[in-house]
Amino acid sequence: MAWTAHQLVTWRISPTGLALAAIVLAAVTIPLLYAHQCLLAALAVALYRLLSVLSGWVSKALGHQDARQRYLRPFMEIVLILSVMGGLSLYRPERLFWPALALLVVTLIFDLERRVFALLQESRKITVRISRVGQVADIVTGSAGRTLLLMAACYWPVWFFWSGPGFAGLCLAVLIWRLIINYRRLASVSPITASEAATDSGSTASNDIEPDDASPDRPEHLR
């Protein structure tokens, strides 16, 4: 991993460039599925995931997380799921439209919950220990599981009539579980109490108060 990332940095390949190339590959799946080029569509999904992983490696090799690449990453996943679902709807609209729509809605809500909790976790500095079950659920419903599902859906579109709603139901169950667990985690974090806030504000105000004009420490001509 380190050697590959170093070579990409040497060739002046930026994480943002890799992310933009991945977005283009994701969008290409629409015309490929419409033209019934299932193998090429599956390869486009695989290449998308490869470029997404490489962009993360290059960011770490540079010693920082590129803000632009981090900004693009959520949109990359949205473009991928929209493109594949749109291509499948065009492939056989009478059979695959509703399964594609169901999976699209569930995954968008699922990703929204993950992003919101990540922001709250970062702002409140919450430390979360993920159990083995949570780790397995993240792998299955995360990028690894989605990549396998989307590649299979592109290569065997007919079977997506069953695999799409099945994966959507799995994501929905994990989403409900995450909502309950994360809600309890946020409830267990005690915010700053009113007395502490008043104490902090009082100490700040006392530091800002200037000495009184009648203070004996001040010279006579300044009173």
- For residue 125, is it left (φ>0), alpha (ψ between -120 and 50) or beta? left
pLDDT value of residue 197:
40
Q: pLDDT tens across 91-122, in order?
A: 999 999 999 999 999 999 999 999 898 888 88
Q: In which element (H, E) is residue 74 found? A: helix 67-91
Average pLDDT score, the chain: 81
- For residue 63, is it left (φ>0), alpha (ψ between -120 and 50) or beta? left
Please give the span between the terminal C-alpha atoms of the chain, in angstroms, as a whole number.
72
Q: pLDDT tens across 179-212, in order?
A: 999 888 888 765 543 344 445 445 554 555 455 5
Residue 186's closest CA among 109, 106, 126, 141?
A: 126
Q: Cα(115)–Cα(128) distance, rounded to whole angstroms?
A: 15
Q: Cα(91)–Cα(89) distance, rounded to whole angstroms?
A: 5
Q: Cα(68)–Cα(205) distance, rounded to whole angstroms?
A: 40
- The CA radius of gyration of the chain, in Å to the nearest whole number, is 26
pLDDT value of residue 194:
37
Catalogue all structural domains in the chain, each as residue range(s) with its CATH number.
2-190 (1.20.120.1760)
Q: Cα(66)–Cα(79) distance, rounded to whole angstroms?
A: 20
By the 8 A CB rule, do 65 and 11 touch? no
Q: Cα(147)–Cα(42) distance, rounded to whole angstroms?
A: 9
By the 8 A CB rule, do 90 and 84 touch? no
Q: What phi, psi does 93 have (nearest 5°)?
A: -65, -35
Q: pLDDT tens across 20-75, in order?
A: 899 999 999 999 999 999 999 999 999 999 998 888 777 666 665 556 666 778 88
